[in-house]
Amino acid sequence: MAVDEPTAHDARPDPTGPGARRRRRRRGGGRAPGDPRNIGWLYVLPGLAFYVLFTLAPLLHTVYYSLFDWDGLTGKTWIGLSNYSEALRDEVLRDAFVHSAILIVYYAVFPVIIGLLLTAALTRTVIRGFRFFRTTLFLPQLIAGVVIAQAWTWIYATDGPLNRALELVGLGSLVRPWLGDFTWALPSIGAIGTWVTFGLCMVLFVAGVQKIPTSLYDAARVDGAGPVREFFAVTLPGLRDEILDAFVLTTINALRSFDIVYNTTAGGPGGETLVPSMYMYQNAFLYNRVGYAAAIATVLAITIFVLAGIVLRIGSRGERT
């Protein structure tokens, strides 16, 4: 039997062999002349250096101070985790975290609900002056907290606009010193937080609506969906990521609320509006307990990280389902 002679086509190297893989690696691993291998780090370095110097280093320094008994002036005394054990037993700190949990409802839950309602109203139909309304509602985010606190202190004053308006409409029985009332002081501060943060939520949601395909709205309308059903079937699922971002940002604002509390009630009356950040300030600058204040700051930071992780975890689990 005659054996066929090998042709040029048969003599070509096997494209799947080890030699071919080595040649592909050599071609793919080549870099343009003058292109350094770690050029990307040059772009990351400024932001990374800023983060390390002004975020990570102070945080680690705070943890270091929390291990000492220190008044901020004289020498430090090592006490280990004693400040943390005291924090776990401190009823004042526990009440302060309860107040922060209540403020989360005003800073996070209410603004997200209001932002969703405004987004549904502003994006369903074409509204003249849409950019003006969006900018105006977002404006509180751009105002300093001290200015906001002073303005609302005037509004809540006994002879302020709020009480005068109640008297004009025949609701004089509701007149009260809002920021000095043991029952209404904390909700009054919470209302300020709602006013400040709902514009941020609305801007996030309006931007998120623009990425939802219009074909989904058209399909829902063809199926006979009204405004409410369209909102729950199309808009709300499409804003999942924006809602998570809003919850994380507003929850952090609620736990870090200091400027508004300090400039309105300073934790009063009778500690009814005391929050962890305010309690930390009192221990550091009024009671000269810098080490214990650092422990409170560390506990507060851990709480923020844990809550943010829980919110993001719930959101990622919802995406998988």
Distances (CA, A) of 307 to 14, 92, 101, 131, 297: 56, 21, 11, 33, 15
Specify if 64 maps to a domain.
no
The reply to whether 119 and 228 lie within a common domain is yes
Specify if 125 maps to a domain.
yes
Specify if 315 maps to a domain.
yes
SS3 assignment, position 78:
strand
pLDDT band at 24 (very low <50, low <70, confident <90, very high): low
Assign 3-class secondary structure to 255-293.
HCCCHHHHHHCCCCCCCCCCCHHHHHHHHHHHCCCHHHH
Picking from 34-43, 205-214, 250-259, 274-283, which range would have the lowest pLDDT averaged per residue?
34-43
The reply to whether 42 and 124 lie within a common domain is no
* pLDDT tens string 94-112: 999 999 999 999 999 999 9
* pLDDT tens string 219-246: 888 888 888 888 888 889 899 889 999 9
The reply to whether 121 and 215 lie within a common domain is yes
The reply to whether 182 and 245 lie within a common domain is yes
Specify if 75 maps to a domain.
no
Residues spanned by the domain of 23: 2-55
Q: Quick one: which of 87, 76, 78 has its CA closest to 295?
A: 87
Burial class of residue 123 in the structure, from the number of CB atoms within 10 Å of its CB (0-12 exposed, 13-18 middle, 19+ buried): middle
Specify if 174 maps to a domain.
yes
Specify if 166 maps to a domain.
yes
The reply to whether 150 and 223 lie within a common domain is yes
Q: Which two tokens stand for residue 230?
A: 């369209």
Specify if 281 maps to a domain.
yes
CATH classification of the domain holding 302 = 1.10.3720.10
Share above pLDDT 90 across residues of the chain, in percent, rounded to a whole number = 60
Torsions phi, psi for 69 (to 5 deg): -95, 110
The reply to whether 43 and 108 lie within a common domain is no
**Would residue 319 be called left, alpha or beta, if left means φ above 0 and alpha means ψ between -120 and 50 degrees?**
alpha
The reply to whether 118 and 207 lie within a common domain is yes
The reply to whether 51 and 88 lie within a common domain is no
Angle, in degrees to the nearest 10, between helices 185-209 and 110-124 = 40
The reply to whether 230 and 150 lie within a common domain is yes
The reply to whether 145 and 287 lie within a common domain is yes
Residue pair 299/84 in contact (Cβ under 8 Å)? The answer is yes
The reply to whether 213 and 100 lie within a common domain is yes
* pLDDT tens string 122-141: 877 777 777 888 888 888 88
Element (H, E) at 134: helix 130-138
The reply to whether 137 and 32 lie within a common domain is no
Write down the pTM of the prediction.
Answer: 0.82
SS3 assignment, position 97:
helix
Residue pair 119/205 in contact (Cβ under 8 Å)? The answer is yes
Instruction: Provide the domain count of the chain.
Output: 2
